[in-house]
Amino acid sequence: MHCHRRALGRLGIEGKGRWQAPAHRHRPRGVSETIPESWRPALEPVLAMPESRRLGGWLRREEASGKTIYPPRGQRLRALELTPLDKVRVVILGQDPYHGPGQAHGLCFSVPEGVRVPPSLVNIHKELRDDIGVAIPPHGNLEHWARQGVLLLNNSLTVEAGRAGSHAGKGWEAITDAAVAAVARREEPSVFILWGSHARNKAQRVPELGPGTRHLVLTSPHPSPLSAHSGFFGSKPFSKANAFLEAHGRGKIDW
């Protein structure tokens, strides 16, 4: 327990009770988020790694310099908060948060209600309509997916305003890799929906998703307008996911 708390403090992420490490110049406060209880055992080892500690310090310095970071504090682990590990049925992987004002709220591809729906999500909605007949919603908030067990996880969980990919390689990848691996190690068969090369490359780092896996791994091009017509449209990920989940007694997602 004490080692776990030290690891959380170094990253600036807090455990139950919002415990904080004592102030120390070598232990920067960093992102100051709370790790949801169900995910703590899976993330504990990676939080103790040097790169995770460096991530906390780097984020603190970026914010102290006046840079705007999305999503705001308190929303960076929203995907893990809304979808406990033991409730995950589907994993959808994104690259990094939206980098425009008001867009990112901790779930990949999703935006809060009232925010213009981004082009990739417009295409996701079109495929959803064509695949299983769901009417295109008037907003882009996917929290209702997350609450049903759809883990909407980005590779990097923060980004600098106006600079796509700016936080890639800063340390989030090890944490999100650990989250994906934790789902893949569970006995319950789950569905992994991988849109684009970044998502496929991330899944390739998880041995449990290799040949002979008990999970369903669905791959296609990214829903971006640049690639959606190259195989994303018509890939039918939603009906395939539900058919697999039903066949394994896990119930359908109400997409």
For 80-106, b where at least 16 C-beta lie within 10 A, e where not — what string? bbbbebeebbbbbbbbbbbbbeebbbb
Cα gap 143→120, rounded to integer Å: 17
Taking a C-beta distance cutoff of 8 angstroms, is the pair 104, 148 a contact? no
Catalytic residue among 86, 96, 130, 177: 96
Which strands make up the sheet holding 191-195, listed edge to edge? 150-154, 90-94, 191-195, 216-220
Active site residue 254: no
In the numeric block, which tokens belong to residue 42?
Answer: 């899976």
What CA dihedral angle connects 169, 161, 147 and 34, to 10 degrees? 70
β-bridge mates for residue 220, sequence order: 195
Residues tagged active-site: 96
